[in-house]
Amino acid sequence: MGRVFEFKIGLLLSFLFLIVSLGNAATIVVSPKGQEKVISNAFEIAQNGDTLIVQSGVYQEGAMILKKGITIIGEGTPVIDGQNKFENLLVEHDNVRIQGIVFKNSGSSSFTDIAALKIKNSKNIVIENCVFENNFFGIHTINSSYISYLNNELISGMTKGKPSSNGIHCWKSNHLTLKNNTVKGHRDGIYFEFVTQSTIENNHSVGNKRYGLHFMFSHDNLYKKNEFRGNGAGVAVMYSKRVHMINNLFAENWGNAAYGVLLKEIDDSKIENNIFQENTIAILADGANRIQIFNNQFTKNGWALKIQASCSDVELNKNNFIANTFDLATNGNLVMKSMDGNYWDKYEGYDLNKDGVGDVPYRPITFYSLIIERNPGALMLFRSFFVKLMDKAESVFPSLTPENLKDTAPIMRKIKHSVNDTVFKYQ
């Protein structure tokens, strides 16, 4: 009985304490016209749990450092300006929430990673509805966990002569959530290094100078419903395990070294229900093991798939291949785990028993694609009559193309995928 009573008292006390501490949470208003004009001063005054309301205006306060767990709310799009010299804001405390602030004109440097917003050694941080304009790094995350970036917009690369670095840059962090962000004109749109157990959902990485998404050593991450479009070199992902990419759109990554997705040393990963459209190479896999490529749509790519012989146990099922110049290319004796049940628009076989599955296997590797893999100079003969004739002869009597690379059950009609998600509205 006594113990229960004590417990109740304890509960009551802690509840009271909670109320008191909530009551203590003050609201500080910063405004160019108000009492408190300087954000850094407000940082000094504020206690953990306080709310800082920043009203519209331009704040040029050099490099700000926040070491308290407060909420910052921007009213009427206040601007924190780095004057092209400073790091706008460095956060080094847990439990911070920042909403509706415009971060502008961070400094740039070849020696240090100057970011508009840097988060270091922190936990439980939410950055929401913020705008990042004309910065070197947009958001830089170091050694932090449980961080959310929601509905932010990062645009850079508009000032001539000013270098731009990565949009959302994360290093050695875990449990991140990136949702509904838009990154444009940065070097890499989203960059991860040693980032684990994170979710990247519904982001738009468009027109970045190098990669739309670039990650290394980042295991167990989920990439869902994102759009990667028109980036200089597409998307490159390396040295990671258990990556799951689902319902993404990879489009218009067009150029001599641009890839829809470059998979370099990726293991145990799934690529499902994505759309690859108008990329020079939709997927280039090098040293990738146990990759499952299911239910994807490959349309109008130069090469739909380039899978190097260094890959093993790749599974390729139920994908649609439509209007690609080459469906599959490889550089040696590639062995796939399975490659069945895809739809290939170049398939010329028949289906006598009308079960929707072609009766003769389809070989996606053409003779010419083998030749240019060995001798790029042979691209001089691209689309020539000679090449067409050669391919035709080889497809009638296959002798040089790899014997085991074939789809034994090619589907006769285009497969309907359940990818009618938000991604589709960008088509």
CB-CB contact of 325 with 386 (8 Å): no
For 261, half-sphere exposure in the C-beta direction (CA atoms, 13 angstrom radius) is 32
Q: Does 380 bind another protein (CB under 8 A)?
A: yes
What does the per-residue mask of binding to another protein show for 275-294, with x meaning CB under 8 A?
A: -----x--------------
| Closest to 168 measured CA to CA, from 250, 219, 226, 239 | 226
Site for another protein in 141-160 (CB under 8 A): none
- Distance (Å, rounded) from C-alpha 219 to C-alpha 114? 26
Site for another protein in 209-228 (CB under 8 A): none
Tell me how many residues contact another protein (CB under 8 A): 25
| Closest to 335 measured CA to CA, from 391, 289, 404, 270 | 404
Among 258, 262, 336, 409, binds another protein (CB under 8 A): 258
DSSP secondary structure, 26-89, as one string: -EEEE-SSSSB--HHHHHHH--TT-EEEEESSEE--SSEEE-S--EEEEES--EEE-TTTS--E
What does the per-residue mask of binding to another protein show for 3-42, with x meaning CB under 8 A?
A: ----------------------------------------
Site for another protein in 298-357 (CB under 8 A): 302-303, 325
Between 8 and 388, name the residue whose CB sits nearer to another protein: 388
Between 126 and 381, name the residue whose CB sits nearer to another protein: 381
Q: Does 376 bind another protein (CB under 8 A)?
A: yes
Which of 8-16, 161-169, 381-389, 415-423 is the region at the interface with another protein (rule: CB under 8 A)?
Answer: 381-389
Cβ within 8 Å of residue 283, ≥6 positions away:
259, 260, 261, 263, 271, 276, 293, 304, 305, 306, 307
Q: Does 374 bind another protein (CB under 8 A)?
A: yes
The 3-state DSSP class for residue 391 equals helix
Q: Does 232 bind another protein (CB under 8 A)?
A: no
- Cβ at position 200, least distance to another protein in Å: 27
CB-CB contact of 291 with 262 (8 Å): no
Q: Does 427 bind another protein (CB under 8 A)?
A: no
- Distance (Å, rounded) from C-alpha 159 to C-alpha 296? 38
CA distances from 290 to 243, 268, 285, 348, 391 (A): 11, 5, 11, 30, 30
Between 5 and 385, name the residue whose CB sits nearer to another protein: 385
Among 379, 393, 404, 414, binds another protein (CB under 8 A): 379
- Distance (Å, rounded) from C-alpha 339 to C-alpha 403? 13
- Cβ at position 235, least distance to another protein in Å: 17
- Cβ at position 308, least distance to another protein in Å: 16
- Distance (Å, rounded) from C-alpha 209 to C-alpha 303? 22
Between 247 and 279, name the residue whose CB sits nearer to another protein: 279
- Cβ at position 105, least distance to another protein in Å: 35
What does the per-residue mask of binding to another protein show for 384-403, with x meaning CB under 8 A?
A: xxxxxx--------------
Q: For binding to another protein (CB under 8 A), which residues are involved?
A: 254-256, 258, 280, 302-303, 325, 371, 374-389
